[in-house]
Amino acid sequence: MAYTSLLTEVYRLQSLDCTDKAVQLVSREIQSQPGCSELWYMRALCLLKLEKYKEAAHDAAKALELGANFDANLVYGKALFFLGKFLEAKKAFAEGKEKAGPELSTFNQFDQWIDWSEDRIKRIARKEAKTTCKEMNGHSDEKTEKTEESNPPAANVMPAPKIKHDWYQTETHVVITILIKNQKAEDVKVNFTEKTVSVTAPLPSGSEYSLELDVCHRINPELSSFKVVPSKIEVKMKKVDGIHWAALEGDGTEPTVKSAPGEPTKTQSVPAYPSSASRKHDWNKLEADIKAEEENEKLEGDAALNQLFQKIYGQGSDETKRAMNKSFMESGGTVLSTNWKEVATDKVDVKPPDGMEYKKWN
C-alpha cells in the first residue's frame, strides 16, 4: 500500500476508535518494509494512543535508529515519561528540540515536556531525600509524609496546563479563549487541522504553554484564525458542519447536520450561547419578547406613520403591495395608494402638500 493511502486509512481507523486495527494494518506493512522509519513511527504513535507505552517506546526507538525526524523523539519521550523514566524522557525531548530547531521545537512543545520531566525528577528527588532523612533520624514528620503520599508523582497521569482556557460557540464558529496576559502576536503559534488545534505561547517564567486538542467535529483550517489581545488569546475555529457542539473535544460520535438553516434536527437541541456560561438563556424566547415589545411600542409623528405603512405593506395582498409601490414611485413619494384598481391604468400624478411646489432635479 502507498504511504499516503496507508496514512489516510490509519487516520480513518483512529477516528472510528479502531486504533488496534490500525496497529495491525501498519504491522503488516512493516513486515514487507522493515527498514522504513515512517512505518515504525506511525505504529509507535498508534501504540501511544492505546497507552501501550513500552511497545510505543520500542517502535519510536527503532524509528529513530532508522533516521526518523524529531517527531519520533516526541513520541519516544512521551512513552518514556508515562513509563516513569523521566531522565530518559528528558533526554529524548532535548534531542528532539535540537533536531527541530528554534522555530519547529516551539510548535512541538519540547520545552513544555522538558519542564514536566524536570518537575517529576525534582519531586522524586525530594521524596528520596525525605526517605533518607527518615532512615537516618529514625523518625519523620507524619503530616509531611501523608501529604506526599496523597500526591504521588503518578507516571501515567498527563500534567495539566496551569493556564485556564474556556470556549463558546456560535452557529458558524467555535471560539476558545486562553487567559494569558500581555502576549505578543508574533510569539503565539497556532496550528489548525480538520480535527485538531495546537496553541503554544511563552510564559513569563521562561517556559512554554501548550494546548493540544482533538476537537469534537471537523473545522475548516483555512477559515480559522486567532487574535492576541492584552488580556487573552482568542482562537476562532470555523465549523464545517452547521451543528451544535455538545463538547469541545472529540467523543467519537458522528456529527448531526442541520436539515435547514436555523432549524435544529430531531437529535439536536437548540443551542444556548455562550456554551460555557453558567447561566443559560432561551434565545428563541428572547427574540419573541423583543418582537412583541417592538410591536407594542407606542411611536409618535413620522415614526408612527412609517410603522403603520410598514404594517399595511407587510400584511397586505399582492395587489395592495403593487398599488403602494406604483403610486409611491410615480408620484415622487407624494402619493401612497392601496387601491390597485385606481392606480393600475393611469400614471399617478405628483401631489405635493399644500403650499409646496414640486420640482425635478436636473
The reply to whether 304 falls in a domain is: yes
pLDDT for position 357: 66
Q: What does the pLDDT look like over 150-177, one tens digit per residue?
A: 444 444 455 544 578 888 888 889 999 9
Of the candidates 61, 65, 67, 106, the residue with the CA atom closest to the CA atom of residue 79 = 61
Cβ neighbors of 31 (< 8 A, separation 6 or more) are: none
pLDDT for position 330: 78
C-alpha cell at 32: 514487507
Note whether 169 and 239 are same-domain residues: yes
The reply to whether 67 falls in a domain is: yes
Strand segments, DSSP code E, in the chain are 165-169, 173-178, 189-192, 196-202, 208-214, 219-229, 232-239
The reply to whether 83 falls in a domain is: yes
pLDDT for position 300: 60
| 57 — pLDDT class (breaks 50, 70, 90) | very high
Distance (Å) of CA 182 to CA 112, 178, 190, 230: 20, 12, 17, 5
pLDDT for position 262: 45
Run of H or E including 62: helix 53-65
pLDDT of 284 above 80:
no
Q: What does the pLDDT look like over 242-269, one tens digit per residue?
A: 788 888 886 444 444 444 444 444 444 4
* CATH number of the domain bearing residue 190: 2.60.40.790
Note whether 111 and 24 are same-domain residues: yes
Note whether 23 and 57 are same-domain residues: yes
Of the residues 250, 284, 318, the one at which a domain ends? 284
**Average pLDDT over the chain, rounded to whole?**
76
- For residue 356, the enclosing domain spans 298-362
pLDDT for position 176: 93
pLDDT of 230 above 90:
no
* CATH number of the domain bearing residue 48: 1.25.40.10
Of the residues 238, 257, 284, the one at which a domain ends? 284
The reply to whether 137 falls in a domain is: no
pLDDT for position 267: 43
254/13: higher pLDDT = 13
| 4 — pLDDT class (breaks 50, 70, 90) | confident
Of the residues 284, 314, 333, the one at which a domain ends? 284
